[in-house]
Chains A and B, each alone.
Chain A
């Protein structure tokens, strides 16, 4: 546990002391900001964050892998993984410690978007329920995206490859529901169940479904587990 905290603190410090995380954060805020403005400038715009949260979760697909890509890939490239793995540290402590740091990073980026919420409340009278549920959805989706990014980072010593692999997996999980119209019955239902987008839509409509929460947490669990296994097998190659 102490190891985990030490790793989380080191990585969090790393995020805030290097420019890359600020660049990613700025990109995210600019993009969501632009689409927020479009959304609220429409005639008869709804006072809410539905448009904002839809766009935010879309951009997370591309930005989460940029946040996580260096976490394990850089260790492999620099060779520092050799020192980490020959210290009395368990693989799960490394993966979980780094994951928590990336999650804190994402939370701090997402929390800046609360500024838009403030604007909506200042100029309008939104329904608070959907705002809260949309943010729960955003955080859960972000957590899942980071876990997938973590696996990408564990697979290669090259950060670009790590990010591309993670983005590809995320895109599949996001848009697989488009395929479901091509098939029928149970298969279509199964494909729909796998998709992140159909679940996110519920959150932004104000629906907090327990199965959706379980789904996103399962993605986190499965992909962190795979990352740990991937790190363990690096020893054996």
Chain B
């Protein structure tokens, strides 16, 4: 239903996401988990066709998001992270407008608005001006407009951020219910939340997928990797096989270097092993010049830790996560 194919997005020189590929089957709830700034929102904006990827593409219900944008957009319901709403419209008029621009016919639309208002428990606020609603209710209006036209695909960006704990519980339940009839992708920086709601979790960090797993396995099966960047002066043909022989090295990727008589490698090593000492030693013993040796970014373990901690920092949330 959703297919992302090697998506890369640069903001200027900054890579927000690099080489993202994944797919979501019909009826599946996929959780997109990562710390703030990991590239979650960027991915969502690309999937919904709001911003184009720098390279790669995505398909929604079989339609290419850049080539057949209009058809693809017909199948999407989207809740952006900021929950943008027209402040001076009332809830019912707002939903009516959103339904119309998604091509819903008037009689059918009227009935559907009542259904959605019921479903999101907005009943007593249907004639309230949106600007006067509290954050939690605004969130519900946001979800209402996303599901209004019964899209095949629902994209929810941080749907529980900034609302109070009781409403968080309700919202999570609502999303779980929605997952029965929709293909759903939601982002979050809260691990227990995605574990509770989702069928499958993708952990994303610094714009790259670092793990894909079922929520059950994620805690126990940390099959992650750690990477080290090395810059060496010397012949590539001799250096590469020697590095590969180091115990604990999984793979080595040679990076392109512009203007410099040295080679840059990204060495992927088993998690939890600090191979920097071994790598340095073997390079020096080989008689080559070691110019740089650096651990790259966080390991999955660290990311995992950070995600777990962030949830605990939220006040009074223990009841919401079990």
Q: Could you tell me which A residues sit within 8 Å of B by CB distance?
A: 2-3, 6-7, 10, 13-14, 17-18, 78-90, 235-236
Contact = CB atoms under 8 A, between A and B. Distances in A.
B84 A83 contact: yes
Interface in B46-94: 48-52, 70-71, 73-74, 76, 78, 80, 82, 84-89, 93
A236 B9 CA distance: 11
Contacts of B82: 79, 82
B145 interface: yes
A78 B101 contact: no
B20 interface: no
B45 interface: yes
15 contacts: A2-B100, A2-B103, A3-B101, A6-B97, A6-B100, A14-B88, A80-B84, A80-B86, A83-B84, A84-B101, A86-B78, A87-B73, A87-B102, A88-B74, A88-B102
Contacts of B78: 82-83, 86
Nearest to A80: B84
Contacts of A236: 51-52
Contact of A88 (B84, B89, B103, B145): B103
Interface residues of B, number: 28
Contact of B88 (A18, A85, A86, A235): A18
B314 to A, nearest CB: 24
Contacts of A89: 101
A83 B145 CA distance: 10
Given A82-B45, A86-B78, A236-B52, A3 B100 contact: yes
Given A18-B88, A78-B84, A78-B87, A86 B101 contact: no
A17 B145 contact: no
Nearest to A79: B84
Interface in B115-154: 145
B98 interface: yes
A3 B76 CA distance: 17
B51 A235 contact: yes
